[in-house]
Amino acid sequence: MPHRCGKARISIFKRQDKGGGKIPPPFLLSQINLYAPALGLRPVTVNAILKEGEVLEELFGDKKIIQNKSLYRFTSDSILLSRFARAKYGDIVADFCAGSGIVGLHFMCLNGHISGVTLFEMQQSLSDMSARTIECNGFEKARAVCCRVQDIGREYDDKFSLILCNPPYERGGFENLTYEKAVCRKEITITLPEIIEAAFRKLKFGGRFALVNRADRLAEVIYLLKARGLEPKRLQFVSGTAGGKPYLIMVEAVKGGKPGIDILPAIANAPSAQ
Q: Say yes or no: 240 and 126 in one domain.
A: yes
Collapsing DSSP to helix, strand or coil, 163 comes out as: strand
Q: Would you say residue 64 lies in a domain?
A: no
Collapsing DSSP to helix, strand or coil, 268 comes out as: strand
Paired sense of beta strands 246-255 and 230-239, if any: antiparallel
Q: Would you say residue 54 lies in a domain?
A: no
Q: Say yes or no: 89 and 190 in one domain.
A: yes
CA 87, CA 108: separation in Å to the nearest integer?
A: 9
Residue type, 188: I
Q: What is the pLDDT of residue 173?
A: 61
Question: CATH number for the domain including 100?
Answer: 3.40.50.150
Q: Would you say residue 261 lies in a domain?
A: yes
Closest C-alpha among 243, 190, 245, 241 to residue 218:
245
Q: What is the pLDDT of residue 248?
A: 96
pLDDT tens digits, 18-29: 333 433 333 444
Q: Would you say residue 58 lies in a domain?
A: no
Q: Say yes or no: 36 and 78 in one domain.
A: no
Q: Taking residues 194-208, what's their average pLDDT?
A: 98
The boundaries of the domain holding residue 13 are 9-49
Q: Say yes or no: 175 and 83 in one domain.
A: yes
pLDDT tens digits, 155-188: 999 999 999 999 987 676 656 566 565 666 666 6
Say if residue 92's pLDDT is above 60: yes
Q: Say yes or no: 41 and 97 in one domain.
A: no
Q: Would you say residue 84 lies in a domain?
A: yes
Say if residue 34's pLDDT is above 60: no
Q: Say yes or no: 159 and 250 in one domain.
A: yes
Q: What is the pLDDT of residue 249?
A: 97
CA 219, CA 157: separation in Å to the nearest integer?
A: 28
- The mean predicted confidence, pLDDT, of the chain is 82
Say if residue 14's pLDDT is above 60: no
- For the ranges 32-36, 72-76, 91-95, the lowest mean pLDDT is seen at 32-36
pLDDT tier, 114 (very low <50, low <70, confident <90, very high otherwise): very high
**β-bridge mates for residue 120, sequence order:** 96, 145
CA 64, CA 66: separation in Å to the nearest integer?
A: 7
Collapsing DSSP to helix, strand or coil, 105 comes out as: helix
Q: What is the pLDDT of residue 137?
A: 94
CA 196, CA 272: separation in Å to the nearest integer?
A: 33
Q: Would you say residue 63 lies in a domain?
A: no
CA 120, CA 31: separation in Å to the nearest integer?
A: 29
CA 209, CA 94: separation in Å to the nearest integer?
A: 10
Q: Taking residues 204-231, what's their average pLDDT?
A: 97
Q: Would you say residue 158 lies in a domain?
A: yes
CA 74, CA 102: separation in Å to the nearest integer?
A: 7
Closest C-alpha among 143, 253, 112, 259 to residue 195:
253
Q: What is the pLDDT of residue 193?
A: 96
Structural domains of the chain, count? 2
CA 105, CA 52: separation in Å to the nearest integer?
A: 23
Q: Would you say residue 55 lies in a domain?
A: no
Q: What is the pLDDT of residue 72?
A: 60
Computed over its alpha carbons, how large is the radius of gyration of the chain? 20
CA 75, CA 222: separation in Å to the nearest integer?
A: 24
Q: Say yes or no: 145 and 222 in one domain.
A: yes
Q: What is the pLDDT of residue 97?
A: 94
Q: Say yes or no: 104 and 149 in one domain.
A: yes
pLDDT tens digits, 117-150: 999 999 999 999 999 999 989 999 999 999 999 9
Q: Which residues of 252-274 are buried (b: 16+ CB within 10 A; e: fewer)?
A: bbbbebeeeeeeeeebbbeeeee
Q: What is the pLDDT of residue 177?
A: 63
Closest C-alpha among 75, 157, 166, 60 to residue 119:
166
pLDDT tens digits, 264-274: 999 998 643 33
pLDDT tens digits, 235-251: 999 999 998 999 999 99
pLDDT tier, 53 (very low <50, low <70, confident <90, very high otherwise): confident
Q: Say yes or no: 109 and 184 in one domain.
A: yes
Q: What is the pLDDT of residue 49?
A: 74
